[in-house]
Amino acid sequence: MTDADGGATPADGDPVDPTDPFGVGAFIRRQREQAEMSVRRLAELADVSNPYLSQIERGLRKPSAEILQQVAQALKISVETLYVKAGILPDDEHRTASVREAIDADPYLTDDQKRALLNVYDSFLAG
């Protein structure tokens, strides 16, 4: 069963555990709070309804891959991270991407920012 926003309800498969602090909903909430963004603003940017996003954050709804992609873009975070948190991608597959590849692939970073981050990363490895 899917809802109006295209997300799965818990009856669709694995139940969503609203108490799981490591679940995708809790992760989205933490990212939104770190970005100092309201639920309403994130819902607007991700083009989902405010109540639906709130239900995802509370673990009452299981978002589809498409919704996760929209939320990731709105939060300016990696969609792969949300896919891992939601159980769409296995965690070991996510770890195979190196830090360098992640920095190089980030569309939100300028070339100067990428170089700076790689320099900082290299300094930690050398230290």
pLDDT at 61 over 60: yes
Say what the pLDDT of residue 16 is.
52
pLDDT bin (cut points 50, 70, 90) of residue 104 is: confident
Domain ranges, ordered by start, for the chain:
1-90, 97-127
Tell me the range of 44-53, 55-64, 115-124 where mean pLDDT is highest.
44-53
Distances (CA, A) of 106 to 38, 51, 73, 88, 96: 24, 30, 11, 20, 16
Say what the pLDDT of residue 75 is.
94
pLDDT bin (cut points 50, 70, 90) of residue 99 is: confident
pLDDT bin (cut points 50, 70, 90) of residue 96 is: very low
The Cα–Cα gap between 122 and 112 comes to: 15
Say what the pLDDT of residue 12 is.
40
Say what the pLDDT of residue 105 is.
78
CATH number of 1-90: 1.10.260.40
- Nearest residue to 35 via CA among 87, 72, 65: 72
Q: Are 7 and 18 spatial neighbours (Cβ–Cβ below 8 Å)?
A: no
